[in-house]
A and B are shown apart, each in its own frame.
Chain A
Amino acid sequence: MKLRGNIKDYLFEKTTALFALGVLTLTLLLFGLLVRESLPAIRKIGASFATNTTWDPVLEEFGALPFLYGTVVSSFLAILIALPLGVGAAIFINEFAPEWLKTPISFLAELLAAIPSVIYGLWGIFVLVPILRDYFMKPASRVLGWIPLFQGPVYGPSMLAAGVLLSIMILPFILSVSREVLATVPRVQKEAVLSLGGTHWEMIRIVIGQHCIPGIFGATILGLGRALGETMAVTMVIGNRPDIVLSLFQPGYSMAAVIANEFTEATGDLYLSALVEIGLVLFLLTIVVNFAAKLILKRFTPAESKRTGR
């Protein structure tokens, strides 16, 4: 726009620009404060932060590996469960569901996404964990307890519980992005397979399989980003024990959970700084993952901008 000469227009534009600058400043401030408060820990603890498996604030030993491990394992477990279910449900809604069913199901899935994390955690503690423990973990432990993945005494709160709960929480995102990705498949290609005598499933496998893998991969990474940062639900069912064990039936810990639990009790500046450093790592990790998801999705869906992050 080449309109000039009007002071008021200029002032209005510059005022809105100022507010936009404010948003940018806050973002930089966030990053800056995280770095500033982590520096003492970074300097004092150094690289052992990422390699030490012992987290003992009393002895001032701060190895954050258990939390990294727990975050990654619980999130991947969540993806493992949520991906097939989410994609399967998306295929059902887009390809098989009658028209009148589509809107209600989407609405219900959106509703799942709106439930606060603490309510998931509440339900996790009193409903999910007991059910998992009594109907799956205890019997499985009796039969398969010799396998490292299922070893150890079963208390209830565990990596498995966290993974299952997380999977429920990220399902709506995987569902909606998958649906968008599925919708980009050109109708002609689908009809071509069907007219050649292929069954519906074969059409899905061939056409959608070819077209949608990258987009679904992007949806997965997106769900991963969401799962990595989940705090309340995880800390309420994961058991909060900073150990690295292979067994899914054992309690674990995550980066977000340890910050939530120990921040107010952190005595000593190094302790607090170590916790902030964990926060910084989590911050950077989710940024990288979300950025990767956006890159992948940008090339394969039209309306990705509404989806990333939450």
Chain B
Amino acid sequence: MKSVAYRRKATDRIMKALFLLSAFLVILPLFLIFSDLLWKGAKELKWSLLTDLPRPVGEPGGGIANGILGTLTVAGLAMAGGIPLAVLSGIYLAEYGKGAFASVVRFAVDLLAGVPSIIMGIFGYVLWVLPMKRFSALAGASALAMIFLPIVVRTTEEMLKTVPVPVREAALALGIERWKTTLFITVRTASAGIVTGILLAMARIVGETAPLLFTALGNQFWQTGLDQPIAAVPLQVFTYAISPYDDWHDKAWAGAVVLILLVLVLSIGARLLVRTRR
């Protein structure tokens, strides 16, 4: 009798310890990665990293300035097309989306959300690189836009649906036209949430490498035109990381620090936006 109770209690304690261990193991990589980033990235983390162009192997110094501008350019392009397309589609789905057409659109959005990003790179390649016969920022942007779209359509629809019915009723009862109610009352009420969704999607595409590998391709120099290859920080991190040169490895870590900072600023900024009720 006593030994059964003892065994049960012991099992209970062992299992609890295992669960604690699991939680610890899940969080551990985060600390390892961040500490490695800081530790190994510190070496090349100078201002020149942010202001200089890359230098050939062996030459000291050099930076990823063109990559930073390139990342912002390609992401900016992707969002220039992606934001109107996604937000308006989200408005359609939330406000008018009750029929079969809306269901099909939702299905397509869910489908897109699960497509691996490298496939979007193929999309950009076939759509732009093949006909133009060159790699370009445009191709990279369209690949990123396909990743951006489903995220923002979903969050926009979700945020709009959280606007309570009485708010819309109050606006309509004032004699405000339906479309104005949607645009200036409902969307306005949900605007913080919608912007949050956009920022989170931006944080995602800024970190993407695979879709840019054969669309934007990368560039050693400054951007000369949107129809030219363009540098991007993730691409540079990748190139430096797989190279055989130690000082380039150091640059890879430093570039990774810049990249993660950008992603974090966007992610945390997005969440802060929701917290502060203006």
A contact set with B: CB distance below 8 Å: 1, 3, 6, 8-9, 11-13, 15-17, 19-24, 26-30, 33-34, 36-37, 84-89, 91-93, 95-97, 105, 108-109, 111-112, 114-123, 125-127, 168, 171, 175, 199-202, 204, 225, 228-232, 236, 256, 259-260, 263-264, 276, 279, 282-283, 286-287, 290, 294, 305-306, 308-310
Contacts and interface: CB of A to CB of B under 8 A. Distances in A.
B88 A16 contact: yes
B27 A105 contact: yes
Contact of A37 (B126, B252, B263): B126
Contact of B263 (A12, A86, A108, A116): A116
B116 A23 contact: no
Given A260-B118, A310-B204, 12 more contacts: A6-B179, A23-B89, A36-B126, A114-B203, A116-B209, A117-B209, A119-B37, A126-B40, A126-B249, A236-B238, A263-B122, A305-B154
Contacts of B85: 19, 22-23
Interface of B: 8-9, 11-12, 15-16, 18-23, 25-27, 29-30, 32-33, 36-37, 40, 84-86, 88-89, 91-93, 95-97, 101-102, 104-105, 108-123, 125-127, 146, 149-150, 153-154, 158, 177-179, 182-183, 203-204, 207-210, 213-214, 217, 234, 237-238, 241-242, 249, 252-253, 256, 259-260, 263-264, 267
B258 to A, nearest CB: 11
A21 to B, nearest CB: 8
Nearest to B213: A260
Interface of A is mostly: helix
Contacts of A28: 108
B104 A23 contact: no
A109 to B, nearest CB: 7
Contacts of B259: 116, 118-119
B83 to A, nearest CB: 11
B22 A92 contact: yes
- Most chain B CB inside 10 Å of its own CB: which residue of A29, A86, A88, A117: A88
A175 B89 CA distance: 31
A231 B256 contact: no
Given A17-B101, A20-B92, A117 B11 contact: no
Given A97-B23, A200-B12, A111 B30 contact: yes
A114 B29 contact: no
Contacts, number: 271
Contacts of A16: 88-89, 91-92, 95-96
14 contacts: A19-B84, A19-B89, A20-B88, A33-B126, A34-B122, A91-B22, A116-B260, A117-B207, A118-B237, A123-B36, A231-B118, A260-B213, A263-B121, A263-B125
B175 to A, nearest CB: 12
B118 A116 contact: no
Contacts of A87: 22
A259 B242 contact: no
B16 A112 contact: no
A30 to B, nearest CB: 5
B93 A20 contact: yes
A256 B115 CA distance: 12
Contacts of B149: 23, 26
Contacts of A95: 19
Nearest to B206: A116
Given A20-B102, A231-B116, A276 B210 contact: no
A92 to B, nearest CB: 4
B110 A23 contact: no
A38 to B, nearest CB: 10
Contact of A225 (B11, B114, B158, B253): B114
B214 A264 contact: yes
A93 B26 CA distance: 11
Which of B23, B158, B183 has the most C-beta atoms of chain A within 10 angstroms of its own C-beta?
B23
Given A111-B30, A199-B9, A199-B12, A310 B113 contact: yes
A282 B118 CA distance: 10
A308 B207 contact: no
A229 B96 contact: no
A21 B96 CA distance: 13
Given A6-B177, A16-B92, A118 B16 contact: no
